[in-house]
Amino acid sequence: MTYLLIKTLHLLAAIAFIGTLFFQVLILAPAAQRLDPSVRALLGPVLGQQARHVIHVVAIVLYGAGLTLVWPYRSLLANPLSSTFATLLSLKILLAFMIIGHYAALIFLRRSQRIGERGMHWLNVSLLLHAMLLVICAKSMFVL
Ligand code: HEM
């Protein structure tokens, strides 16, 4: 029952995480291109702040639940090539850490003011692709 609850939380957080990225990349960014620069300048920081706030909470639930879920499989991870399941789970975890790497890079680039709107967009595209690949691993690891 507890495992089911944690798995459900993990899945809901994954939906929220990928849904936010999907919205940013495929809806918000193209729509913002059609706005007047003055409106974009007003809207951008407000939306960015709210998105960061939501993503922080979602990421804590997602990664916290993920670490709990992986506990029963810990011995398998010692030998990632021992089975298809172990390989896909290891790949899934690697992708999850690469996603954290994206956010670390984003924080660094923002603080040193080395990233503009275009850079942020491509970083979000890369995040979305990593997250999609991760879900493919998650969903195929029990089937293949
Ligand atoms: C961006 C981060 C992540 C995303 C988007 C994600 C997504 C998913 C999805 C969609 C599932 C399938 C759930 C289902 O259909 O029931 C899943 C399962 C799983 N995830 Fe994650 N995950 C992430 C991070 C992590 C992390 C960091 C870990 C562990 C270190 C982890 C461990 C697991 C495990 C062990 C399962 C299988 C649970 C089971 O059925 O026994 N995940 N994940």
Distance from the alpha carbon of residue 46 to the mean position of ligand 1, in angstroms = 31
The average confidence (pLDDT) of the chain is 95
Residue nearest to atom 41 of ligand 1 (CA): 69
pTM over 0.85: yes
Query: Which mutation among 69, 88, 141 tests ligand 1's pocket best, with the greatest number of atoms within 8 A of CB?
Result: 69
3-state secondary structure 17-66: HHHHHHHHHHHHHHHHHCCCHHHHHHHHHHHHHHHHHHHHHHHHHHHHHH
Give the pLDDT confidence of 58-113 residue by residue, as tens digits: 999 999 999 999 999 999 999 999 999 999 999 999 999 999 999 999 999 999 99
